[in-house]
């Protein structure tokens, strides 16, 4: 998929953790730890717990967003460093900072304890993907679609099933008036990504946009409502038109007026459409919150 000059799809695998040797240890660990903490995972091919720890440790380091670097050292091939550090059993992980060993542990730990270990040596671990999503959303809100698309592209290059990034990219196409491309991007959200709330919201936004595509002139809808306040279809269509123009509170109010006047109209269609608006806008949106309060007041009075 593409947006401007940005290409989406075909995710790449993360780089493999570097293997260090006795000869490269000074450069790859001692010198490198002057810039950032470096973890050394001492392991051996015959060590079962080492094979369990390695992937969990690599995942935690990757989630640090560059705050920590990790290398691996096979003690069968390079026993000298482990001997100098007094390592007698593996797996063993030693953290180096400013050229010195500062912390470590022996044995296989669960992911939560590994994260705590990393935070001891590098501070709180942020969520780099979350930060990137927030940056992309901010760029989109400022009208910088190219920057937003580039950030979503970067996320999807590492995780092509990231639901929030796919939803964000779909919304960029939707905002640009390209419904077909928006639907094509969202179709890539399969499996667990399909259940992401951001994907559900984007899907609702696309459906609402399709409904409002052929509504005609909003001013004509207003004239119809003024001529006949009971013309609920005109008010319903007007709500869709308002939502398409970003006037969320007014759109909700129009549907709530229908519900107040005739709850059963069009098989409860006004309420169902209002719920689709809430799904599109998100639970925390002020228009959703206000609309839910008014809806509750009408349904349970």
Does residue 50 have an active-site annotation? yes
The closest of 269, 258, 238 to 298, measured between CA atoms, is 258
Active site residue: 47, 170, 241, 251, which one? 47
For residue 65, which phi and psi values (nearest 5 degrees)?
Answer: 70, 30
Rg, C-alpha atoms of the chain: 27
Among residues 38, 40, 50, 295, which one is catalytic?
50
Active site residues: 47, 50
């Amino acid at each position: 998929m593409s947006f401007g000059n940005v290409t989406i799809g075909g995710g790449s695998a993360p780089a493999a953790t570097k293997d260090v040797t006795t000869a490269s240890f000074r450069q790859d660990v001692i010198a490198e730890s002057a810039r950032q903490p470096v973890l050394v995972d001492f392991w051996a091919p015959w060590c079962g717990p080492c094979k369990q720890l390695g992937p969990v440790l690599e995942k935690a380091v990757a989630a640090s967003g560059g705050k920590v670097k990790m290398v691996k050292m096979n003690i069968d091939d390079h026993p000298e460093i482990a001997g100098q550090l007094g390592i007698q059993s593996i797996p063993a992980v030693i953290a180096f900072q400013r050229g010195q060993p500062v912390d470590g542990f022996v044995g296989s730990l669960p992911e939560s304890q590994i994260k705590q270990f990393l935070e001891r040596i590098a501070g709180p671990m942020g969520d780099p993907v979350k930060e990137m999503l927030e940056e992309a959303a901010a760029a989109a809100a400022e009208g910088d679609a190219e920057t937003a698309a580039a950030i979503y592209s970067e996320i999807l290059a590492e995780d092509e099933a990231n639901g929030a990034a796919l939803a964000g990219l779909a919304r960029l196409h939707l905002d640009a008036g390209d419904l077909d491309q928006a639907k094509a991007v969202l179709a890539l959200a399969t499996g667990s990504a399909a259940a992401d709330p951001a994907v559900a919201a984007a899907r609702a936004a696309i459906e609402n946009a399709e409904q409002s595509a052929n509504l005609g002139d909003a001013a004509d809808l207003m004239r119809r409502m003024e001529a006949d306040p009971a013309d609920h279809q005109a008010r319903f269509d007007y709500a869709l038109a308002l939502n398409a123009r970003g006037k969320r509170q007014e759109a909700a109010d129009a549907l709530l007026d229908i519900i107040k006047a005739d709850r059963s109209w069009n098989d409860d269609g006004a309420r169902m459409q209002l719920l689709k608006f809430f799904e599109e806008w998100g639970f925390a949106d002020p228009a959703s919150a206000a609309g839910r309060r008014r809806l509750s007041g009408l349904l349970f009075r």
